[in-house]
Amino acid sequence: MKCPVCGEIEDKVIDSRLAKDNTAIRRRRQCLGCLKRFTTYERIEEMVPFVIKKDGRRESFDRRKIVEGILRACEKRPISIEQIETVADSIEQDLMERAEKEIQVSYVGERVMQALKKMDEVAYVRFASVYRSFRDIEEFVNEIKELYELKESKEQQTEHGQLDDPQIPQGVS
Ligand SMILES: [Zn+2]
């Protein structure tokens, strides 16, 4: 397995166990080149559904895209990789449990938003701004309003971090 850090092909498995939900084998590996550790999951391929994109194209579900999307939304936020992996796992698990061969990309986006909303307000708004802007800007503005109201009520109880500017996408009005 190619090392994500240095590209070395040789590694050794240092731990191998069932993932929490028992649907995957989780392997902890160590690169023999740079000694960095990384994790791989072995899953049943047939269970993974196709995702229908907005333009009608199909592609196989790619967990990495979810992880990358959340990573981007969580930039400079106090969210660990483990938390992001857990969210990606739960979404993938949900898609598999639906046991449908095809799933709309909007459904995947909604699931990511639900998870982010629980985890981190700022990350949620960032992600939602990308996902929702193309469909309904009013909905997006309402979401921000709700978040600010939520934040204000929270601040009355405790000191809380600033909601930094949620990057309203340009060219949408
Ligand atoms: Zn390496």
Cα–ligand 1 centroid distance for 6 (angstroms): 4
pLDDT score of 172? 43
Listed by start position, the domains of the chain span: 9-43, 47-156
Cα–ligand 1 centroid distance for 106 (angstroms): 36
Cα–ligand 1 centroid distance for 14 (angstroms): 15
Q: What is the pLDDT of residues 99-152, one digit of tens each?
A: 788 888 888 888 888 899 999 998 888 888 776 655 544 555 566 566 667 767
Q: What is the pLDDT of residues 20-44, one digit of tens each?
A: 778 788 999 999 999 999 999 887 7
Structure tokens at 153: 């009520």
Q: How far apart are the C-alpha atoms of 110 and 53, rounded to whole Å?
A: 14
For residues 133, 134, 135, 138, the Cα torsion angle rounded to the nearest 10 degrees is 30
- C-alpha closest to that of 105 among 91, 124, 85, 120: 91
Cα–ligand 1 centroid distance for 10 (angstroms): 8
Q: How far apart are the C-alpha atoms of 97 and 88, rounded to whole Å?
A: 14
pLDDT score of 38? 93
Cα–ligand 1 centroid distance for 92 (angstroms): 27
Q: How far apart are the C-alpha atoms of 74 and 66, rounded to whole Å?
A: 12
